[in-house]
Amino acid sequence: MDTYDTIIVGGASAGLSAAIYASRQGMKTLVITKDIGGQALLTTDIQNYPGFDMIGGFELTGKFKDQAQNYGTEFLYDEVLKISRNGDNFTVKTANKEFSSMSVILAFGKTPRDLNVSGEAELKGHGISYCAICDGPLFRGKEVAIVGNGSHALEAMIYLSSVAGKVHYITNGRKLLGEDEMLETVNSIKNKEIFFGSTLISVNGKQSVESITFENKSSGKRNTLPVSAVFAEMGYIAKSGFVKDLVKLNENNEVIVDKFCKTSTEGIFACGDVTDTPYKQAVISAGQGATAALSAYNYVQKRKGKVAAKSDWKLIKH
């Protein structure tokens, strides 16, 4: 079982900022997330993030991810199902693997909704993806499908059309919804096919995705389409149930933290929208991510019998 200094659950503003700060301190850091960007992907024009007059959520969180990766952060695109104590460490279990960590940072905010269809559980990580920018390059030149609605699905289509051979869009909507500029870009895509008023029935395949079956709601006709990957763009949902017996939650199922982003369980920290912090903004999540990482660093240093830093300036590497 691979062991880390810290495992960060979530890959949006809070989790990626935590990864940057943790990795810069030399911590062996793993980010486990279903996608990169979280709810920021729903925002095409962020106008209140310091340093940028205007930037898309997709672009901003992509910069966070690249920076974290440059410092040595490892990424796993999977879903955490359970976190449990294992002696002095924690065991983090995903749909496909198990890891051990000296500390855990909860930064999952809201996670992508599942497709909730036959074949999804078996093929997660084997062609079913919740992050176009993360997994799109794996299917270069192949036929893929996007299932969902809204501007985030259209952004996925724009990106995937640049790497995939053909993009099939399955949506229960009757028309494309989005800003005029985005719609103009989508309409100019040549290697796309759109199925309006349709619902996904199943994802099919043995070892990996081989096809999808979907149904037209008006006619009731079902079609099976050969594809190598399915990208879920169904929106986001808060899923804190898997930590309810591990850390204290408030009445809104948010993780309760102190000013150091510590939870009720020693060694577990939390940051971003998953916490009881009242203001849910990308810049606040990023700041909390830094705080959680520095707190986790101090905790791990003490565990290793080393001197913990007492102020931020002592942690800065020139």
What was the pLDDT predicted at 193?
97
Mean pLDDT of 150-159: 90
pLDDT in the model for residue 217:
94
Q: Is pLDDT of 138 > 60?
A: yes
Asked if the model's pLDDT at residue 318 lies above 60, the reply is: no
- pLDDT score at 44: 59
The pLDDT score that the predictor gives to residue 95 is 82
* CATH code of the domain occupying 3-112+236-315: 3.50.50.60
Secondary structure E strands in the chain = 3-9, 29-33, 74-77, 80-86, 89-94, 98-106, 110-112, 128-129, 143-148, 166-170, 192-195, 198-204, 211-216, 222-226, 229-233, 236-238, 268-270
pLDDT at 143 over 60: yes
Architecture of domain 120-233 in this structure: 3-Layer(bba) Sandwich (3.50)
pLDDT at 115 (0 to 100): 94
- Which residues contact residue 55 at a Cβ distance below 8 angstroms, ignoring those fewer than 6 apart? 45, 46, 49
Q: What is the pLDDT of residues 161-207, one digit of tens each?
A: 999 999 999 999 999 988 888 899 999 999 999 999 999 999 999 99
The separation between CA 223 and the C-alpha centre of its own chain, rounded to angstroms, equals: 30
Instruction: Kindly state the tokens that stand for 258.
Output: 């102190």
For residues 77-105, average pLDDT: 94
Of 220-224, 256-260, 274-278, 312-316, the poorest mean pLDDT is in 312-316
Supply the pLDDT for residue 66: 93
Percent of all residues in the chain with a pLDDT value above 90, rounded to a whole number: 68
Angle between helices 282-303 and 13-24 (to 10 degrees): 40
Higher pLDDT, 101 or 110: 101
Quick check: helix, strand or coil at residue 29? strand
Contact between residue 89 and residue 83 where contact means Cβ atoms under 8 Å apart:
no
Structure-model confidence comparison of residues 151 and 265, the more confident one: 265
Quick one: what percent of the chain has pLDDT higher than 70?
94
Fold match, 3-112+236-315 / 120-233: yes
**Is the pLDDT score of 110 beyond 90?**
no
Average pLDDT over residues 114-134: 89
Q: What is the mean pLDDT of residues 202-222?
A: 96
User: Can you read off the two tokens belonging to residue 217?
Assistant: 């709601």
Mean of per-residue pLDDT scores for the chain: 90
Q: At what angle do helices 180-187 and 150-160 cross, to 10 degrees?
A: 40
pLDDT score of 39 more than 70: no
Flag whether pLDDT at 4 surpasses 70.
Answer: yes
More confident residue, 46 or 136: 136
pLDDT digits 0-9 by tens, 265-314: 999 999 998 999 888 788 899 999 999 999 999 999 999 998 766 555 44
Q: Decide: 102 and 300 in contact? Cβ < 8 Å.
A: yes
Across residues 64-70, what is the average pLDDT? Answer: 93
Residue 36: its pLDDT value, please? 82
pLDDT at 91 over 50: yes
Say yes or no to pLDDT of 315 above 70. Answer: no
pLDDT at position 316 is 46
With 60 as the cut, is the pLDDT of residue 150 above it? yes
Residue extents of the structural domains in the chain? 3-112+236-315, 120-233
**Burial grade of 79 (CB within 10 A; 0-12, 13-18, 19 or more):** buried
- Which residues are paired to 32 by β-bridges? 9, 76
